Structure 1
Amino acid sequence: MLPITDFLSCTDPLDEFDSLSYHQTQHAKTYVTGLAAARSKTVTGIAREVLPAQGDRALNKFLTEYDWDEDQLNHERLEELQKHGETRWSQDGYIIIDDSVFQRTGKELPGAGEFYDHTEGEPVWGQDLVYAFYTDDKTSYPLAFRQYEKADNEDQDEETKYDLAREIVTELEEEVGVPEWSA
């Protein structure tokens, strides 16, 4: 496969986001370009195939160690989507709130634990994400998510999946500006 010599045009809006520094923007554009166009979706594969990358170590450091505001980045992403007719929220749209268990093998992964997986019909080791997703007849895209974590001990207050869903709804209404429609 030929190397990817430039960022995809879909990454251009990242240049206008205030949540990322110049270098963080370059890493984000590398990562998004690699996820969309590279054959290998690993950090090493993306760094090898997307030539503007500054190496897999720099890209990995961006993803795991850089200090950036994920919520602000997500808000800017959602604002960008509202600028375009094909992705703008519609009164015919739906916001879906659900959770998914992603099976994992690593015991040291943040939030990993034993969760009941409805598709398997039994508990599995993994991570559980509660998320909101927008869909209408033109488009579908994620809005927000929270990782559900079980309390380590009985003395700890455990935030439920419903609590996380309420947090997401409040954020979408108050901070992101998702319109409220009534039936």
Structure 2
Amino acid sequence: MLPITDFLSCTDPLDEFDSLSYHQTRHAKTYVTGLAAARSRTVTGIAREVLPAGSDRTLNKFPTEYDWDEDQLNHERLEELQKHGETRWSQDGYIVIDDSVFQRTGKELPGAGKFYDHTEGEPVWGQDLVYSFYTDDKTSYPLVFRQYKKADDEDQDDADETKYDLSREMVTELEEEVGVPADGTV
């Protein structure tokens, strides 16, 4: 396969985001290009196939070491989606909230614990994400997510929040800060 020598045009809006520095923008564009077009979607594979990436070590610093505001980046992403008719939300759309358990093996992962996995029919060791996405008759895309942390985990500051609390928090954020049309009921 020939190497990818430039970023995909779908990454152009990232140039206008205030939440990312110049270098962070280049890394974000590299990731998006690699996830969409590279054969190997690992950090090493993206760095190897997307030539503007530089080294895999440098590319890996973007999600692991750089200081950036994920919430602001997500808000800017959602604002960009509202500029286009096919992704603009409408009063006929829905905010869907669900959760998924992702099985893990590491005992030191943040928020990891025993969670009931409906697909397995039993508790598994993993991480539980509560997420929301928008859908209507023309489009669907993710909005926000929160990691659910078990109440019995002493290391977690917000471990007393339930999944319902996280859901309400997400709907409030989406309604008040982002402007998603929602009635605030969960």
TM interval, shorter chain, is: over 0.9
Q: Could you say what secondary structure the match of 1:2 adopts?
A: coil
Total equivalences in the alignment: 180
Contact 1:91 1:181 survives alignment (8 Å) = no
Deviation, 1:181, is 5.6
Question: Which residue is 1:44 aligned to?
Answer: 44
Letter of the 1:107 counterpart: K
Of residues 103-112 and 54-63 in structure 1, the stretch that sits farther from structure 2 once superposed is: 103-112
Q: Which among 167, 175, 178 is matched to residue 173 of structure 1?
A: 175
Letter of the 2:175 counterpart: E
Cα RMSD of the aligned pairs, angstroms, is: 1.4
TM-score normalized by the length of structure 1: 0.94
Letter of the 1:130 counterpart: V
Question: Which residue is 2:165 aligned to?
Answer: 163
Q: Which runs of 5+ in 2 are unaligned?
A: none
1:87-145 per-position Cα deviation (integer Å, ceiling 9, x unaligned): 00022211101111111122222211110001110001111000111011211100000
**Aligned counterparts of 1:26 and 1:106: Cα–Cα separation in 2:** 31
Q: Which runs of 5+ in 1 are unaligned?
A: none
Contact 1:4 1:51 survives alignment (8 Å) = yes
Question: Which residue is 1:87 aligned to?
Answer: 87
Equivalent residues in 2 for 1:1-183, closer than 5 Å: 1-151=1-151, 152-153=153-154, 158-180=160-182
Contact 2:94 2:136 survives alignment (8 Å) = yes
Q: Work out the percentage of aligned pairs sharing the same amino acid.
A: 89
Of residues 107-116 and 166-175 in structure 1, the stretch that sits farther from structure 2 once superposed is: 107-116
**Aligned counterparts of 1:38 and 1:106: Cα–Cα separation in 2:** 28
1:67-93 per-position Cα deviation (integer Å, ceiling 9, x unaligned): 000000000000000000000002221
* Runs of at least 4 residues off by over 4 Å: none
